Amino acid sequence: MRRFLRKIAPFVIFILILELAIPMAVDPYNVFHWQKIRDNGVEPNSNYIKMQYILHNPDKFDSFLFGSSRTGFVDVENIPDGKWYNMSYSEGLPAEHLENLQEMIANGIIPKNVMIGVDNISAFVDPSLHQNQFYRIPYPRADKLGFYGKYLSIKGVLLSLDVIRNHEVTDPDYVERYYRSGSTLRDPSLGGTFKDDVPYWDDYYTDYMADSLLDIRRIRELCEEYGINLIVFTNPLYYRTYQESKHFGYDQYLGWLAGAAGSFYNFSGENAVTMDKNYFYESSHYTEVVGDMIIDRIFNGVTDESLEAQGFGMYVTEDNLDEFNEALANH
């Protein structure tokens, strides 16, 4: 028996090495190559990669923008004050932003500014769902071995091979921009080219509004504790997506948001921007043009009375909720 075990031991070790080496070498989600990601066509785990990047470069930035992939189209290089990095990633949620901010602070990174973009994803997605999605698994504050173990998966590699083999690089500056600012870039002229005028909605959306608002309140309290300037805004939703979200209570979420955040800039609702397809790549993501409008309103004081009367760009506090609700209801 011992002789048999000695004979097969090299083969067992070889197989185990392959089980580790192949996932780490192919690394479709760039978890093991976070220092220099590859543009391989597979959506990377940007939550993890961006957190690793910031924690290993604590003095490079002093301000951070958190949010879902929609927030990625806010080009932080156009923000006039601070050294900003865009922390957005697919379905970024307030619970995860809170955890990431706590991790930054625990590592001695106290931002000057934190800006958070919220939307219907914030209100209707349960964070626990991300634990089993390779490109969305949250940054591991405690069980790092368990986190890496999930990516030592031949299955995960096999599922991504077709995408990797057929991927053609169309954005040569992708990697450099990823580390320079974290913002997303597409051709704004592609706005309005989508044909299916249907809301962006997933069947796993559920009422997570109360938990989301509690997480936002905790972020606010954390920022107050450490003297961090907090800015909250709502991502503009294409009007069909907003209407679907409103059916499930998103307008109530917006009404409660001021109490949780203290104040926020609203860009959601049915207005001249959100009802114009040219400002959207599809019924989920707005263009960089809209991202610049958000920056202009918040940081450059650019106002448009007509749009603000429709709720777009309105600064909302608990003192003007009636005016805000009226603006949403009438447009």
Alpha-carbon distance of 303 to 293, in angstroms, equals 9
For residue 86, list its beta bridge partners.
Answer: 65
Side-chain-facing half-sphere of 64: CA atoms under 13 Å: 26
Of the ranges 91-95, 114-118, 149-153, 207-211, which one carries the lowest mean pLDDT score?
Answer: 149-153
The DSSP output letter for 94 is: H
Average pLDDT over residues 247-261: 96
How confident is the model at residue 6, as a pLDDT?
63
Place of tokens 């999605």: 133
Closest CA to 82 of 97, 67, 61, 66: 61
Closest CA to 174 of 39, 328, 329: 39
Alpha-carbon distance of 70 to 93, in angstroms, equals 12
- Does this model's pTM top 0.95? no
User: CB-based contacts of 199: which residues, under 8 Å, 6+ apart?
Assistant: 238, 240, 241, 243, 244, 245, 283
Per-residue model confidence as pLDDT tens digits over 7-33: 565 654 555 566 677 888 899 999 999
Place of tokens 């509004």: 209
Which pair of tokens denotes residue 96?
Answer: 């995860």
Per-residue model confidence as pLDDT tens digits over 36-73: 999 999 999 999 999 999 999 999 999 999 999 999 99
Alpha-carbon distance of 128 to 145, in angstroms, equals 19
| Strand stretches in 37-105, DSSP E | 63-66, 84-86
Q: Which amino acid is at 53?
A: Y
Per-residue model confidence as pLDDT tens digits over 281-326: 999 999 999 999 999 999 999 999 999 999 999 999 999 999 999 9
- Helices (H) and strands (E) counted in the chain, each on its own, are 13, 6
How confident is the model at residue 2, as a pLDDT?
66
